[in-house]
Amino acid sequence: MEIYSSAAQQEKTRQDRPVFYSRSRLIAGIVLWAVVTVLLAVVCIRAKDKNVGILIAACFALLTAWLTFKCFNTLRNIAQPAFVVGHQGLAFENGMVIPWHNIVENIWVNQSYMGIPIGKQIQIRTDLPKPQARVLRRAMALEISGDEYLALCDAYR
């Protein structure tokens, strides 16, 4: 099905559009995960004779430390786009390009628990061979919302 596009919209889509990560969202993620890591480390230190408690708190502390590092590492490379939406398809930072005609399903998922947003994800299903058959991208720290992303994909498709 063809989607109507005005002349002004067509002019906007003449060049590929890079999508970047949000600096403020990444900094908020670093602060959040660093605070949780410190709190879990304190729980780990204070649980003196409870070996299972220490082990569980240590595992979660390592997980949150890894999430802190991932946010910090993404913040270091903020000048590089997360992906590029263009006429050929979606081009990701690792060099992978998924052509529009190979995309079977392209959805934005807002994950929440009891009304609290806990994650955003882009799920792309393709008809390509195994390595690119399903592409998942975290989208919590992107500068655009789900509606903007889907409108952008529709405009370039």
Q: Give the tens place of pLDDT for each residue, 70-128.
A: 999 989 989 889 999 988 889 888 888 888 988 999 999 998 888 888 889 999 998 88
- Shared domain check, 87 and 72: no
Q: Residue 28 — pLDDT band, cuts 50, 70, 90?
A: very high
In this structure, what are the phi and psi dihedrals at residue 137, rounded to the nearest 5 degrees? Answer: -130, 130
Please give the residue range of the domain that contains residue 72: 23-77
Checking DSSP bridges between strand 17-19 and strand 97-99, what pairing results, if any?
A: unpaired
**Alpha carbon distance 83, 139 (integer Å):** 11
- Shared domain check, 69 and 50: yes
Q: At 56, list the tokens.
A: 């569980």
- Domain finish residue from 77, 108, 141: 77
Signed CA dihedral, 141, 146, 152, 157: sign only? positive
Residue 93, pLDDT score: 84
Is the residue at 131 inside a domain?
yes
Domain count, the chain: 2
Residue 1, pLDDT score: 47
- Domain finish residue from 36, 55, 77: 77
Is the residue at 6 inside a domain?
no
83 near 21, Cβ under 8 Å? Answer: no
- Residues 6+ away with beta carbon under 8 Å from 26: 71, 74, 75, 78, 141
- Shared domain check, 68 and 34: yes
Give the mean model confidence (pLDDT) for residues 142-146. Answer: 90
Q: Kindly report the pTM of this predicted structure.
A: 0.77
